[in-house]
């Protein structure tokens, strides 16, 4: 037989030889334990983690939500710098409607009787002056309070500043009350109405559950232990559950999150879909970086005098903004993810024999014997006979 013919046959054997699994029973408790223990770990992962914890057999959908709020409560203030005043929801809930949020006024700096006129600017290094030459007419400082007229006027008996065209008298916002003006706001309540839908599953629900009626709403108040389904919350309890003190926070304001979790299991055997409420402060409150703390904004109330002059009351409002944040994911049995994860589980199980083989051929004392018995090359009878005949003739 020529060398080329032998090479050709070797190539054909390499390409077309068929390999079939061979059952080799190893009477070894150690190998059997490794095999079964590996199977157990795979099944534990698939059943315990993939199916039970992750619920990978389910299709999922994200929540779509809408929120409306209604704040209720009254307060009365009687301090030296302000006339006695009764406050209702129209006064302290600004604006009355928000996009998933509401604001409750807790402290104010009021500047009443402002008119468009000329007055000396508030003193600071950029506004103090000695004479008119230090004040540029028409100059507009974005951080100032008006447009300079070019005159240097007396702000006080010892300080002169540039005169400005503005709403006068100017606001002095450093006179913030040390105790919140509306300290009673901690007893205000808010009704949160939240409707959600999972469009993929055509599922709709709201946080006013089916067993709640109008009589119940008139008397209930949310309590995590005794009344967790009530959608009416006392502001003091919201702030307290967020780890803050209402009276401290009310002085300069802040931002609080009301988080509603609608994570739902919509399978018929475990149908659970109820809102879970948590509360958290969202704005920065760092003791070492306390620049521009809290939450505030300005607005004005305008009116005209009997002489027709336009007058306004400027209000710098401090308070707590409550952001209602709704999130969640719903899951329901689906045939496609079930088949996909079942296939993944079977593929994991097919790797178990490889682990047992590696242990048998690497860690066992009889690994050489197991290696010889594991793979066998089949020699057909005709080839055996021809080989024996060649041996016989050669000996003759």
- pLDDT tens digit sequence for 314-326: 999 999 999 999 9
* Residues 228 and 282 placed together within one structural domain of the fold: yes
* Residues 206 and 325 placed together within one structural domain of the fold: yes
Split at pLDDT 50, 70, 90, the class of 3 is: low
Q: What is the pLDDT of residue 146?
A: 92
Exposure of 76 in the CB half-sphere (CA atoms within 13 A): 1
* Residues 91 and 194 placed together within one structural domain of the fold: yes
Mean local confidence (pLDDT), 249-267: 92
Q: What is the pLDDT of residue 393?
A: 46
Exposure of 77 in the CB half-sphere (CA atoms within 13 A): 22
Q: What is the pLDDT of residue 65?
A: 93
Mean pLDDT across the chain: 84
Q: What is the pLDDT of residue 153?
A: 93
Task: Say if residue 379's pLDDT is above 90.
Answer: no
159/387 Cα distance (integer angstroms):
122
* Residues 325 and 222 placed together within one structural domain of the fold: yes
Give the contacts of 159 (CB within 8 A, at least 6 positions apart): 123, 128
Q: What are phi and psi of 178, to 5 degrees?
A: -70, -30
Mean local confidence (pLDDT), 215-219: 89
Inside any domain, residue 280: yes
More confident residue, 375 or 94: 94
- Which residues span the domain enclosing 276? 62-109+190-294+320-331
Mean local confidence (pLDDT), 40-68: 86
Mean local confidence (pLDDT), 38-52: 84
293/273 Cα distance (integer angstroms):
38
Task: Say if residue 396's pLDDT is above 60.
Answer: no
* Residues 338 and 205 placed together within one structural domain of the fold: no
Geometric angle at alpha carbon 110, from 152 and 145, rounded to 5°: 30
Cα→Cα distances 49→52, 67, 341, 347, Å? 6, 35, 12, 16
Inside any domain, residue 18: no
30/39 Cα distance (integer angstroms):
14
Lowest mean pLDDT among 47-56, 281-290, 306-315, 350-359: 281-290
More confident residue, 55 or 80: 55
Q: What is the pLDDT of residue 257?
A: 94
Q: Per the structure, how many domains does the chain have? A: 2
pTM of the predicted structure, to 2 decimals: 0.76
- pLDDT tens digit sequence for 181-209: 898 999 999 999 999 999 999 999 999 98
Percent of the chain residues past pLDDT 90, beyond the cut: 44
Split at pLDDT 50, 70, 90, the class of 6 is: low
DSSP-based three-state secondary structure for 169: coil
Q: Residue 125 class from Cβ within 10 Å (0-12 exposed, 13-18 middle, 19+ buried)?
A: exposed
Q: Residue 360 class from Cβ within 10 Å (0-12 exposed, 13-18 middle, 19+ buried)?
A: buried
Task: Say if residue 26's pLDDT is above 80.
Answer: no
* Residues 239 and 203 placed together within one structural domain of the fold: yes
Mean local confidence (pLDDT), 312-340: 91
Inside any domain, residue 158: no
Inside any domain, residue 69: yes
* Residues 237 and 355 placed together within one structural domain of the fold: no
Lowest mean pLDDT among 274-278, 282-286, 314-318, 332-336: 282-286
Residues 186 and 233 sit within 8 Å (Cβ to Cβ): no
- pLDDT tens digit sequence for 121-150: 999 999 999 999 999 999 988 889 999 999
Binding site for ATP, residues?
70-72, 189, 296-298, 316
Lowest mean pLDDT among 26-40, 83-97, 326-340: 83-97
Treating both helix axes as pointing N-terminal to C-terminal, what angle do 335-350 and 29-43 enclose, rounded to 10 degrees?
A: 160
* Residues 355 and 233 placed together within one structural domain of the fold: no
Where are any strands of DSSP class E within 244-304?
254-261, 264-265, 276-281, 296-304
Lowest mean pLDDT among 196-210, 271-285, 341-355: 341-355
For residue 119, the tally of other CB atoms under 10 A from its CB is 21
* Residues 208 and 93 placed together within one structural domain of the fold: yes
* Residues 267 and 341 placed together within one structural domain of the fold: no
DSSP-based three-state secondary structure for 138: coil
Secondary element (H or E) of residue 329: strand 329-333
Q: What is the pLDDT of residue 375?
A: 66
Inside any domain, residue 241: yes
Which among 351, 335, 270, 342 has a CA at the least distance from the CA of 47? 342
Inside any domain, residue 168: no
Q: What is the pLDDT of residue 50?
A: 81
Which among 323, 174, 157, 330 has a CA at the least distance from the CA of 256? 323
Binding site, residues?
70-72, 189, 296-298, 316
Task: Say if residue 350's pLDDT is above 90.
Answer: no
190/232 Cα distance (integer angstroms):
6
């Amino acid at each position: 037989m020529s060398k080329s013919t032998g090479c050709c046959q070797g190539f054909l054997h390499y390409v077309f030889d068929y390999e079939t699994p061979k059952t080799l029973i190893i009477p070894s408790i150690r190998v059997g334990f490794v095999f079964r223990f590996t199977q157990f770990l795979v099944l534990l992962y698939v059943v315990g983690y993939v199916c039970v914890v992750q619920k990978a057999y389910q299709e999922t959908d994200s929540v779509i939500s809408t929120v409306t709020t209604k704040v209720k409560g009254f307060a009365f203030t009687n301090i030296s710098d302000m006339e006695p005043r009764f406050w209702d929801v129209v006064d302290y809930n600004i604006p009355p409607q928000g996009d998933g949020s509401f604001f409750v006024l807790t402290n104010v700096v009021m500047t009443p009787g402002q008119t468009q006129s000329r007055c000396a600017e508030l003193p600071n290094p950029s506004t103090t002056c000695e004479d008119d030459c230090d004040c540029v007419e028409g100059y507009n400082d974005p951080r100032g309070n008006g447009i300079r007229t070019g005159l240097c006027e007396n702000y006080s008996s010892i300080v002169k500043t540039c005169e400005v065209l503005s709403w006068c008298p100017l606001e002095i916002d450093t006179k913030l009350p040390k105790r919140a003006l509306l300290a009673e706001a901690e007893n205000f309540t808010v009704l949160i109405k939240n409707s959600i839908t999972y469009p993929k599953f055509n599922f709709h629900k709201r946080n006013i559950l089916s067993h709640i009626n109008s009589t119940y709403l008139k008397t209930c108040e949310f309590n995590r232990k005794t009344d967790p389904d009530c959608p009416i919350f006392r502001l003091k309890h919201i702030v307290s559950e967020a780890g803050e003190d209402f009276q401290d926070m009310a002085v300069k304001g802040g931002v609080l999150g009301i988080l509603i979790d609608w994570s739902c299991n919509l399978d018929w055997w475990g149908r659970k879909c109820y809102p879970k409420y948590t509360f958290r402060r969202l704005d920065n409150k760092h003791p070492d970086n306390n620049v521009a703390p809290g939450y505030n904004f300005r607005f004005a109330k305008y009116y005209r005098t009997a002489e027709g002059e336009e007058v306004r009351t400027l209000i710098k409002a401090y308070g707590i903004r409550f952001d209602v944040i709704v999130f969640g994911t719903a899951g329901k049995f689906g045939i496609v993810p079930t088949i996909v994860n079942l296939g993944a589980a079977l593929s994991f199980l097919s790797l178990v024999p490889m682990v047992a083989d590696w242990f048998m051929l690497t860690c066992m004392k009889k690994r050489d014997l197991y290696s010889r018995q594991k793979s066998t090359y089949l020699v057909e009878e005709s080839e055996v006979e021809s080989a024996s005949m060649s041996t016989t003739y050669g000996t003759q």
